Amino acid sequence: MRGRVEAILIALVLAGCGGSSSPAPHITLANLNFLHGIFCPAESASCRLEDRSELLAAWVRDAGCPDVVTLQEIFPPSVDLLESWAATVCPFPYDVVQGDVLLGVDDETVLSRYPILLADQLRLFGEFRAVFHVQVDHPTGPVDVFSTHLASGADGGRDRCDAIDCPAVCEDAGAGTRRECQAVQMAQWIEERHEGPNPALVAGDFNARPGSFTYRQFTERGWADAYLEAGHPECDPTTGIGCTAGREDGSLEGLDSPALGESVRIDFIFVVPSLPGAGCSGRIEPAGDPDGDGARTALFADAPNPFAPTCGPLPNPVCWPSDHVGVQVDLQCN
């Protein structure tokens, strides 16, 4: 009898230990350049903006409801749509956060499930582009998140820096174009703003390919390209696999087609390593979601609308939320 009682007590103790444990925390983020559609035909309603917003919400749920969602190309109608589902799309509400100075056409926007401790902006060379920084009150400690959309060819991204009054900091770093200068400014500002010890996340549409001067401003500082670090293949322009941009953005041709339509990888999440004393070590989860929690390090919104039996032109559901494919990251806090 005594042995049986001891066995029961041991079982209860073990059960109690198991019940008190909880999974290690994660830091999760998804990023997407969410096409504003201002150059789409008027009759297309900004290339089906409302339908695309609903599809974005479905992708947020599918990604496991990330702690933070960073978005680019946001304008006022997009904000209204984001706010229409931000409080209900996941088991918790998202706050929709923007900077104090808005252009009203292409503004970085953050959705966060946790309170924002601070928010600030850096206006980049050329004055049209910016970096938006928020510090998130994450359970593991403050987490810095930086989001940007660097210059494209349409706003002089390839213009020679030395021909347009290039800032000295950019000349010193060897920047040759406006976009390269913006990357220099952004990387240096991140170093100034981020104090750690938790890892920081740097996300956005950089309008530059892997290996470029712009890209190296981040990777040569030891900031990991999360998608590659997880073991995913580089973009294959012949198939579109692993690519994030290239789809038609001035009409519904690409958005209403299930074809992938992407040919370059220019959207990234860079991970600034943690420092001693961090509440989260920031290990990038490998490809395939090995812990099975639904949060992944992978591309985001990278398949034609998987939430409907079919997709295509109206009256069918739209196929893609944007002309871009996004990126998502799961940082494990071992």
SS3 82: helix
Which of these, 239, 237, 242, lies nearest to 263 by C-alpha position?
237
Model confidence band, residue 162 (pLDDT cutoffs 50, 70, 90) = confident
The pLDDT, as a whole number, for residue 10 is: 36
Give the chain's largest Cα–Cα span: 91
- Looking at the domain 26-332, which fold is it? Deoxyribonuclease I; Chain A (3.60.10)
SS3 content of the chain, % helix, strand, coil (to 5): 25, 25, 50
3-class SS of residue 27: strand
| pLDDT class of 53 with cuts at 50, 70, 90 | very high
The residues spanned by each domain of the chain are 26-332
Q: What is the pLDDT of residue 124?
A: 96
* Paired tokens of 225: 């390209």
CA atoms within 13 A on the CB side of 90: 24
What band does 74 get if pLDDT is binned at 50, 70 and 90?
very high
Q: Which of 5-14, 46-55, 157-166, 180-189 has the lowest mean pLDDT?
A: 5-14
Q: Looking at the whole model, is its pTM more than 0.85?
A: yes
Average pLDDT over residues 293-307: 97
Which whole number is the average pLDDT over 130-156? 96
Angle at 111 between CA 110 and CA 113, to 5 degrees: 135
Given a contact cutoff of 8 angstroms between Cβ atoms, the answer to whether 94 and 112 are in contact is yes
Q: Is the Cβ–Cβ distance between 128 and 101 less than 8 Å?
A: no
pLDDT of 218: 99
End-to-end CA distance of the chain: 43
The pLDDT confidence band at residue 23, using thresholds 50, 70 and 90, is low
The span from the CA of 89 to the CA of 49, in Å, is 18
Tell me the per-residue pLDDT of 61-70, one tens digit each, with 9 for 90 and over. Answer: 999 999 999 9
Q: Is the dihedral of CA 5, 8, 10, 12 positive or negative?
A: negative
